[in-house]
Chain A
Amino acid sequence: MALNLDIQKALRSGTQEFRLDASFSAEGRSIVLFGPSGSGKTLTLRALAGHLSPDAGRMELDGRTLFDAAHGVNLPARERGVGLVFQDYALFPHLSVARNVGFGLGAGLFGRLDAAARRRVAELLDLGGLTELASARPDRLSGGQRQRVALLRALASRPRALLLDEPFSALDPLLRARMRREVRAMCQALGTPTLLITHDPDDVAEFGGTVVLYDQGRVRRVEAFADGPEGGIGARDLVLGERFAVYA
């Protein structure tokens, strides 16, 4: 994944105003956006996914322009080819596990699945150990199972990149450590590069790669490490040594 990003966005809620002015280039199988809550990481991810339009700037993924304010380019979310795992998973509560996983493979208005798509869903469910829960609704699942469904749903249509928005913050600590390894292993197995958003140094240690440090709506620093736990330890030391304004 090669990402070129330079965007500005002003948000106002009540009397508070937040300004995002983020600019960085990063390349590799793993990119981690690290920073305190409210530093603009999630805003950046939503802009990348196409759920929010920046006021100005441009974004480019693997040489493809996703957004360019100067030239009036703004690809709709459905054409950006990026997978997304939300912080609260955003599983469709009215659809079964299998229908959730297969949602992106469905064709036409009613999302009909052809034989190849059904095979792919079965394969993915098997990969996530969810075969027996295929017809269950998401509210019957445990936290870890929900996360797997969200991950498989995003990976099913073979996205160019997977965007993960603090995916482990809702899990309890023991499960968190396990899911971290599992999620990274699964993305690696399927060959999908990841862009992870987090404020947890342990996530940085697991994913490694290029670390982009956010602080108060701006990118403060970009450092490249080896992907995965090999580079992750150094990356964690970097983020732990950083002094963020909100923690002063």
Chain B
Amino acid sequence: MQSLLPELLIPALVPLGLTLKVALTATLGAFLAGVGAGWALSRRGLPGREVLDALCTLPLVLPPTVIGYYLLVLFGRRGVLGQWLQQTFGVSLIFTWQGAALAASVVAFPLVCKAARTAFEGVDQNLEHAARSLGAGELRVFLAVSLPLAWRGVLGGTMLALARAMGEFGATLMIAGSLPGRTQTLSLAVYEAVQAGRDSEAAFLVLLVSLLCVTLLLASGRFLKTSCPA
């Protein structure tokens, strides 16, 4: 067992690092887009609000492979955005870790968006009105009043998004493939190991993912408690 551990650990380090890189990038993207969309959806005057809300929830209910397919259509070599990226920046997201991050970001987005909408709707409108009457512009109202008061809910959603992004499999496989060392994250590595019959490697990776997720949940629970007294 003692000689087995480094033998299993060292090959796991690469997918682990890649998973963290992809998941953190994806969470940042989901956070920015989700907070923006959640805020917009919490405004009562927004036309077609419930239709937009349903659209934002779609990645939560669609099978990840379907999301992956849409992303391929959009960002593939012949996709509208894919061609644009290729022509303007000379980059392609297909079979790259950035592509994997995009996929995970889309899948994790509704979790931030939903939580943020609920949190922003929970902010007393009179506080926002008070800030406006004190001369604050809309951006300052958002930064100084709405966001700090909605912070707890937004953070909770972001933690869930991080967990979801780390476990992303289907959409990532569609757009980024499972290239060891380049796009093969932990969840893809588990699948590969099982398929190839490398049972002890699979078991070790599963243990690693489980530990990571438990740590994340405990940390987020603790963080939420200490960040908000009262």
Interface residues of A, Cβ cutoff 8 Å to B = 49-51, 76-78, 80, 82-84, 86, 88, 90, 92-94, 103-104, 108-111, 139, 153-154, 157
Please tell me the size bucket of the interface on B: 20 to 34
Interface pair B132/A77, CB less than 8 Å apart:
yes
Q: State which residues 54-86 of B face A: CB under 8 Å.
A: none
Chain B contacts for A76, CB-based, 8 A: 132
**Cα distance A104–B130 in the bound complex, in angstroms:** 10
Which of A92, A110, A157 is most buried by chain B, counting CB atoms within 10 A of its CB? A92
- In the complex, which of the residues A82, A92, A153 contacts B145, with contact meaning CB atoms closer than 8 Å? A92
Interface pair A157/B132, CB less than 8 Å apart:
no
Given A110-B143, A111-B140, verify A86-B126 contact (CB < 8 Å).
yes
Chain B contacts for A103, CB-based, 8 A: 131, 134, 136, 144
**Cα distance A90–B131 in the bound complex, in angstroms:** 10
- In the complex, which of the residues B135, B137, B143, B230 contacts A104, with contact meaning CB atoms closer than 8 Å? B135
Q: B225 on the interface (CB 8 Å rule)?
A: no
Interface pair B130/A86, CB less than 8 Å apart:
yes
Interface residues of B, Cβ cutoff 8 Å to A = 124, 126-127, 129-137, 139-140, 143-145, 148-149, 230
Interface pair A90/B148, CB less than 8 Å apart:
no
Chain B contacts for A157, CB-based, 8 A: 134-135
Q: Which residue of A lies closest to B144 (CB)?
A: A111
Chain A proximity of B140: nearest CB distance (Å): 5
Q: Please classify the interface of chain A as helix (H, G, I), strand (E, B), loop, or mixed, using the class held by over half of its residues.
A: loop
Interface pair A84/B136, CB less than 8 Å apart:
no
Chain B proximity of A98: nearest CB distance (Å): 14
Interface pair A94/B148, CB less than 8 Å apart:
yes
Shortest Cβ-Cβ A-B pairs, 4 listed: A104-B134, A77-B132, A90-B126, A90-B130
Chain A contacts for B124, CB-based, 8 A: 90
Chain A contacts for B140, CB-based, 8 A: 108-111
Given contacts A94-B149, A104-B134, 11 further A-B contacts (CB under 8 A): A49-B133, A77-B132, A78-B132, A78-B134, A83-B133, A90-B130, A108-B140, A109-B139, A109-B143, A111-B136, A157-B135
**Cα distance A86–B124 in the bound complex, in angstroms:** 12
Interface pair B137/A78, CB less than 8 Å apart:
yes
- In the complex, which of the residues A50, A84, A109, A110 contacts B130, with contact meaning CB atoms closer than 8 Å? A84
Given A111-B144, A139-B230, verify A88-B135 contact (CB < 8 Å).
no
Interface pair A78/B133, CB less than 8 Å apart:
yes
